[in-house]
Structure 1
Amino acid sequence: MELLDPIIALVVLLAVAVVGVGAALLTRGRGRRTLPPAPPTAPGHLPGVGDDAEVPRDSPTRTVDVVELPDTVTDEPVVLEPALDRPEPAAGRLVRLRERLARSNSALGKGLLALLSRDTLDEGTWEEVEDTLLLADIGVDPATEIVDSLRERVRVLGTREPERLREMLREELIRVVDPGMDRSLKVERHGERPAVVLVVGVNGTGKTTTVGKLARVLVAQDKDVVLGAADTFRAAAADQLQTWGDRVGVPTVRSDRDGADPAAVAFDAVKTGIEMEADVVLVDTAGRLQNKAGLMDELGKVKRVVEKHGPVDEVLLVLDATTGQNGMQQARVFSEVVHVTGIVLTKLDGTAKGGIVVAVQRALGVPVKLIGLGEGVDDLAPFEVEAFVDAIVS
């Protein structure tokens, strides 16, 4: 018994020592994490970020792209050129727009055919036919000519067949519209200088818009065009014209200030056209009231100043087809001042006044060369006699 006491004491001391060492090791493990040893480095290599990182096994590898840098670096922003419009071809455009024209003028054709198809064509019926023509602004003399000719042909042939009457009416309308007139635009370049086209008309007829649309017609014919914004009295006119030009890549010559001398702007436009070797220069003039003598004199000055570069090839008068006989008076005054060579009839799509074509040609002795048939950018069409009459009697 005396021998066991020292042994038991020794065992207790050893157990206490083991528990103490385990507790110390446990406490040290909780307080600080032991880092793995650093990988061996080559002599002279300084440790850096990522030296102890593993290479991911599944990561794809990629080579470094080599990018060529420009020799010089500028602070100027890169300007992207806007995409230019591609105007529709001008040839045959009126045929494509015939349905729209027919909707506007169908009342004229239907009314005439209804009258001519009556069982009895007495004096009262022929007077109604003449009245229908007059309401279409065809003019007194042309209306009388058509009625007299139709009356004689119906009497001789004795026909009431709608198709034959329609054909006779078509023939008479074509005759008075006069297919023999030269309706071509004089827009061919003359040696060292471009063709010059002045566009004139009163306010509200769509003159500036017509110039922009005409530029599209010429661009569609592969012509180099320069625009002249000589309407310096209307603040927005130059901006409006430049917008039209920018859409098809056509330059616009304009003044930096409102109220500048229109003749000077027109002169500079033609000069620019000569320097750029353009085919055509289109000059938009201020909308004039025909009863303002001073303004009309100024329009004459514009033409005289432009002619210092050479003759003006075309003077196009823009008329609103809805103005009727008032437009006829405008046409006469403008023709006296600047010698109009052609007529542009706008807003013809919204009226049954198609007879104004005949009336204005008879009054001035000059042809209708272009007609506007809508608000679309390519709704200005070269005038074609047969397509126009077919739209009326279709």
Structure 2
Amino acid sequence: MAEEARAAEEARLEEERAEAESARRAAAERQAEEERTAAEQAKRDAAAKATRDAEARAAQTPTLRESMTPVAPDLTEEEQPAPQEKRGLLGRLMGRAAPKTVVRRTLDDDMLEQLEELLITADMGVDTALRVTANMAEGRFGKKLSVAEIKELMADEITRIMDPVARPLPLYPKKPQVVLVVGVNGSGKTTTIGKLASQFRAAGKKVVIAAGDTFRAAAVEQLQVWGDRAGVPVLTAPQGSDPASLAFDAMGKAQADGADLLLIDTAGRLQNRSDLMEELAKIVRVIRKKDESAPHNTLLVLDATTGQNALNQVKVFQEISDVSGLVMTKLDGTAKGGVLVALADKFGLPIHAIGVGEQIDDLQPFDPQEFADALVGYER
């Protein structure tokens, strides 16, 4: 009986130990599950905070120039009075000059990351932003630099990228020099043609315009206004008619008149790429019946406010037509302008001019240093 009692007691103790172990494991699993849930929630909270912080930073940096204003903790010297508003391209392109402050900041990884973010928010793109900041850091990493020195370095690196592509629209002795102007609707194509015609006419050149965007009556009417203003003939055709036929007639008139330049407007319908490709190809074919070397220039007009989308437009139009140079418009408004640096870095196409307003002299030759200084808010 004693042995049976001991066996029963041992069985009872074993059962209690098993129950205790089971309860311990269950408690451990509950605790682990609670910890996993808390960790996942913390990750979600951190991601949400990072997104909010990024959105807040983007909202606080509408332009690169404004973003370069230093924060208070980095100040080591007295803040100087704000400079007078700079006029001309710098003032119109980027607005009122930023307050000039004298600071010292260490050019370290954290600083370079901040500069990269600023360049990206200015529509420069990741690859170009990294290239600019890497070149800035070369030989200077770890040194303390003033904000003015940082701006100067950044402007110099941007200028270095832009210098090789800053070229005026070439003029040839061949008459007429045929300039085919392409771009999406709304990019400022028609206005650019009018301004070019007026400026060439003022320089003593004989110009003819062909209103080849026969699908938009407004484009034809706008060109006629510019033509009247500049004293330049504008050839038109009924709405919806064949642009290639108009281009052929314009070639004949330009040759008969002894014109120096023939500017041909085209329709810009990227949503119908196959139609656009065929239409442009047909225009080229028919004008080559008059001159095998035409067109002598294919000018792509881009709207600066489209930001990084301008890169895709260049790619598409390069596939459609042999783009020989760029004009960027609408740099006087909310455009940040950095995409022009990305275009130069990626495609290397000549940049002939930039548009900074609606007046005729607001289509200006592209000056890389002036543009770079305006972009970062640096005054030499």
Asked if TM exceeds 0.5, the reply is yes
Of 130, 135, 153 in structure 2, the residue corresponding to residue 149 of structure 1 is 135
The partner residue of 2:280 within 295, 299, 304 is 299
Query: How high is the TM-score relative to the length of structure 2?
Result: 0.71
1:100 aligns with 2:83: no
1:243 to 1:345, Cα distance in 2 relative to 1, 3 A? same
CA distance in 2, matches of 1:98, 1:180: 21
* In structure 2, C-alpha distance between the alignment counterparts of 1:128 and 1:164, rounded to whole Å: 16
Aligned 1:182-331 pairs, distance under 5 A: 183-190=167-174, 193-255=175-237, 257-310=238-291, 311=293, 312-331=295-314
Aligned-residue CA RMSD (Å):
2.3
Give the Å deviation of 1:290.
4.8
Deviation digits for residues 199-258 of structure 1, max 9, x if unmatched? 111111111111101112212321111001111111222222111011111111111x21
Matched, 1:172 2:157: yes
The question of whether the paired residues in 1 share the 8 Å contact of 2:304 and 2:335 is answered with no
- Structure 1: gaps of 5 or more residues: 1-94
Query: Secondary structure in 1 aligned to 2:165?
Result: coil
Paired residue secondary structure (2:270): coil
What one-letter code is carried by the residue in structure 2 that aligns with 1:183?
R
1:293-334 per-residue CA deviation (whole Å, 9 max, x = no partner) reads 222321222122222222211111111101112221111111
AA aligned to 1:148 is: A
Partner Cα separation in structure 1 for residue 245 and residue 171 of structure 2: 22
Could you tell me whether the CA contact under 8 Å between 2:214 and 2:239 is conserved in 1?
Answer: yes
Q: CA deviation at 1:265?
A: 0.6
The alignment status of 1:125 with 2:107, answered yes or no, reads no
Q: Which amino acid aligns with 2:372?
A: V
User: Residues 189 and 385 from structure 1, CA distance in 2 versus in 1: closer, same or farther, beyond 3 angstroms?
Assistant: same
Question: How many Å separate the matches in 2 of 1:232 and 1:208?
Answer: 12
Q: Deviations over 1:139-174 (max 9, x none)?
A: 222211111121223237x34234433332221111
Q: Does the C-alpha gap of structure 1 residues 301 and 117 become closer, same or farther in structure 2, counting only changes over 3 Å?
A: farther
Deviations for 1:11-51, whole angstroms, at most 9, x for unmatched residues? xxxxxxxxxxxxxxxxxxxxxxxxxxxxxxxxxxxxxxxxx
TM-score by length of 1: 0.68
Deviation at 1:347, TM superposition (A): 0.7
C-alpha distance in 1 between matches for 2:285 and 2:336: 35
Distance 2:138 2:276 in 1: 49
Please give the residue correspondences for 1:370-385 in structure 2 after superposition, counting only pairs within 5 Å. Answer: 370-385=353-368
Q: Which amino acid aligns with 2:205?
A: K
C-alpha distance in structure 2 between counterparts of 1:249 and 1:315, whole Å: 24
Separation of aligned partners in 2, 1:303 and 1:96:
39
- Percent identity of paired positions between Structure 1 and Structure 2: 47
Assess if the C-alpha contact under 8 Å between 1:303 and 1:338 holds in 2.
no
Structure number with the higher helix fraction is 2
Count of matched residue positions in the alignment of Structure 1 and Structure 2: 289
Change over 3 Å in CA distance of 1:182–1:195 after alignment to 2? farther
Aligned mate of 2:120, from 114, 134, 153: 134
AA of the residue aligned to 1:239 = E
- CA shift, 1:117, in A, is 4.8
Q: CA separation in 2, counterparts of 1:289 and 1:322?
A: 17
- Superposed, 1:16-165 pairs within 5 Å as 96-103=88-95, 117-155=103-141, 158-165=143-150
- Please give the secondary structure, in 1, of the residue aligned with 2:371: helix
Residues 39-83 of structure 1: CA distance to partner in whole angstroms, max 9, x if unpaired?
Answer: xxxxxxxxxxxxxxxxxxxxxxxxxxxxxxxxxxxxxxxxxxxxx
Contact 2:104–2:146 (8 Å) recurs in 1:
no
Structure 1's 355 and 100: CA in aligned 2 closer, same or farther, altered over 3 A?
same
- 2:230 partner amino acid: V
The higher radius of gyration belongs to 1
Match of 1:344, SS? strand
Alpha carbons 1:230, 1:286 under 8 Å: kept: yes
SS in 2 for 1:154: coil
SS of match in other structure, 1:153? coil
2:165/2:344 contact within 8 Å kept: no
- SS in structure 2 of the partner of residue 386 of structure 1: helix
Any idea what SS the aligned residue of 2:140 has? helix
1:97 counterpart SS class: helix
1:385/1:208 Cα in 2 relative to 1: closer, same or farther (>3 Å)? Answer: same
